Structure 1
Amino acid sequence: MKNNDRLGISLFLIPTIVIFISFFLVPVISVFITSFADWNGLTEFSFVGLDNYIRLFTYDNTFWVASKNLLLWCLITIFFHVPFGGVVAYILYKNPFGGKFVRVVYMIPNIIAASAWAIMYRFIFNNDFGVINNFIRAIGFEDFSVNWFYDPDTAFIAVTFTWVFFSIVNTLLILAALQAIPKEIHEAAQIDGATEWETATKIDIPLIKPALSTCMILSLAGIITQFEVIFLTTRGGPGNKTYNLALMLYDGIMSNDYGYANAVAVLMIILGISILIISNKLFGVNKEEA
């Protein structure tokens, strides 16, 4: 590469580097530093060492409730949400009748703002005039009455239903990866007598591992940072049944306890990075081909 080319590339990179440092790196470093401080967001902060983290792991029971909820949602994401998006993608990949219409309809929930979608679900799960309860009553359970978002036994299920079936991002990523597989590979498999199942499990899935890894990372990161839907439907209740780390962060900010809130934020960042590393390891992403 010529020196003039290097200079030109460097000049183009400077604005990106400045923006990255100013709007991402500096704020992240600030979050890490202030997580070791007692700070209300206005006055000068004083360092308290690991006090915020000790309080988080030892004295705050809501942290363990939020962690349990997060673990359950992550398991649902891994074993249902992403696989469901993959199954839909594979069906669309086979180009069935009405596939384009299904793709458009399936995308609608994802182009609606999360806040608007949360409000819609409050009506869908409403006890008196909601679609769910009226349908159950219509099929013979006239006395059925459940306040889905306000009943401790059903709140977690109701919140989960607001997102678990809407996996269009995963579907589009996996569908694009499937469509990028050369047709010659499938033709060769057919000549060798491979069944549909063998083609899917031994050719398609191995070849779309990077897309699957990306879907897993995006979905799990979305679960860790999920806020709008939970806040607008249950606010973490009833009895912390739907409480999560994002709500802990919000509560810390609203209490002007920024040091503690940033300790929660650091934990969320670490979880996100861990998911990235583990997912890439499990799916063999970035491994050099032998």
Structure 2
Amino acid sequence: MVLPTVVLLLLFAIYPLAWAFKYMFYDYDGFSDATFIGLENFVRLFTRDSQYWHSVWNTLVFTAGKLVITLPLSLILAFILNNKLFGKNTMRAIIFMPTIISTAVISLVFYLMFNSYNGIINKMLMSIGLIDQPIEWLGVKYSMLTAILVAIWGAVGNYMVLFLAGLQGISNDLYESAAIDGANKVQQFWYVTIPLLGPVMQIIVMLAIVNTLKSYESIMVLTAGGPGGKTEVMYLYIYKLFFPVSEGDAVVQQYGYGAAVGFVSALIVGLLTSAYLYISRKSSQAH
């Protein structure tokens, strides 16, 4: 009964990892014969590839900007919709809906909305007099902000549902006791909800960090990493190494180097996640 799962795991998880681990020590473009070059790919990465490290910085900015807004907003929405409100199930469905829509479709819609000259965002802002001329939302100045806003819209519903699951595990008796002692809604949220939601919140934040560090699909559709690498993130950079957008790209198809970059990127994600778990556990023990 477990054989189908084992076969799929070997084919789609173990084998690709073994393939990548082998070829990160080779010069290989997928067509010509692979040439063993030892650690040359890693030497190139750490000494000559400033574009990759710029993408790492962009990833950190994107992750911080997204999570600082998404997680508190998701928690607040979950707390509000966990109460007895008219139409709360409909509101939950509406907020969660972006999660089940294709990321590529969502990003394409937002690309059209944020278009500098024909986009509805600029038209609305100009019609109400907030701006005098179109804003280049996907230009150098605002492209990262636009990517973060799109990511927030797509992720809030997902984390809201996770927070809802945690909130529904908290007994109403605790809120009633707090209300009897004179605690208002804000005090109940801060002194009852937050402490009891701690273990669940730790897992949600960890998942959010990992998912955001690895995400690139929406940025690929919105800006393709541009302009000038302004929004290029780690995994989009890796994608371009394996699947160049065009023959004229500065980044050419390089399976061997891409495998090495992917390995280092996985280490970065693992280290950041481990650091978060260590800090959060220490904080929990201190309290």
TM-score tier by shorter-chain length is 0.7 to 0.9
SS at 1:164 equivalent: helix
Q: How far apart are residue 217 of structure 1 and its match?
A: 2.6
Is 1:219 the counterpart of 2:208? The answer is yes
List alignment gaps of at least 5 residues for structure 2.
244-251
- Give yes or no for the alignment of 1:269 onto 2:266: yes
Instruction: Give 1:25-174 correspondences, 5 Å limit.
Output: 25-141=14-130, 143-149=132-138, 151-166=139-154, 167-174=156-163
How far the C-alpha of 1:44 sits from its partner, in A, is: 4.3
Alignment counterpart, residue 191 of structure 2, candidates 189, 202, 207: 202
- 1:245 alignment partner in structure 2: 234
Matches within 5 A, 1:227-238: 227-238=216-227
Q: Secondary structure at the match of 1:283?
A: helix
**Shift in Å, 1:14:** 5.1
AA aligned to 2:88 is G
Q: Is the 8 A contact 2:28 2:35 kept in 1?
A: yes
Deviation, 1:100, is: 2.0
What residue is the counterpart of 1:3 in the other structure?
none
Instruction: Give the equivalent residue in structure 2 for 1:282.
Output: 279
| Residues in 1 aligned to 2:280 and 2:190: alpha-carbon distance in whole angstroms | 14
Q: Secondary structure at the match of 2:153?
A: coil
CA RMSD after TM alignment: 2.5
Q: Deviations over 1:193-224 (max 9, x none)?
A: 44433432233222222332232233222222
1: distance between equivalents of 2:188 and 2:230?
43
Provide the rounded CA distance (Å) in 1 between the counterparts of 2:98 and 2:120.
17
Q: Distance in 2 between matches of 1:95 and 1:281?
A: 37
**Structure-1 separation of matches of 2:75 and 2:43:** 41
Identity of aligned residues (%): 27
Structure 1: stretches of 5+ with no match in the other structure: 1-11
* Conserved? CA contact 1:136–1:144, under 8 Å: no
Q: CA deviation at 1:13?
A: 4.6
Cα 1:194/1:283, change in 2 over 3 Å:
farther
Per-residue CA deviations over 1:20-68 (Å, capped at 9, x if unaligned) read 3332123223222322221222444333232212212221121122111
State how many pairs are aligned: 276
Query: Which residue number corresponds to residue 247 of structure 2?
Result: none
| Cα contact 1:36–1:51 (8 A) shared by 2 | yes
Change (3 A) 1:89 1:43: same
Please give the TM-score of this superposition, normalised by the length of structure 1: 0.85
